[in-house]
Amino acid sequence: QVQLVESGGGSVQAGGSLRLSCTASTYTRSVAWFRQSPGKEREGIAALSPSGTTYYADSVKGRFTISRDNAKNTAYLQMNSLKSEDTGMYYCAASMGWLLWAPRETDYTYWGQGTQVTVSS
């Protein structure tokens, strides 16, 4: 069983930046970040395939960057120019599959516990 541990959430003012980290207990091929904002369903906002292909939801494109350090089994989500609508619980997810498409919850087997991000305007 792969375990994912997230960190880096917190409170920030609009326009600020945060970096989320997700450390896995072992290497996983594909990783993604999901977000659940208040009153909304959880959505996939960024994904990274083993070959380096990335996906970003339109709402975060140009502001968020997903990356990973395989030596540390850690994935990151760099979030810049944060907006109040970015507020929510952020989850990392991982799969041993080779995923190249927009992230869907059902594609990912392993999930972190979530980390809260609050952006105040």
Place of tokens 């994904």: 47
**pLDDT grade, residue 8 (50/70/90)?**
very high
Q: What local confidence, expressed as pLDDT, does residue 102 receive?
A: 84
For residue 66, the tally of other CB atoms under 10 A from its CB is 22
Task: Encode pLDDT of 55-98 as tens digits.
Answer: 999 999 999 999 999 999 999 999 999 999 999 999 999 999 88
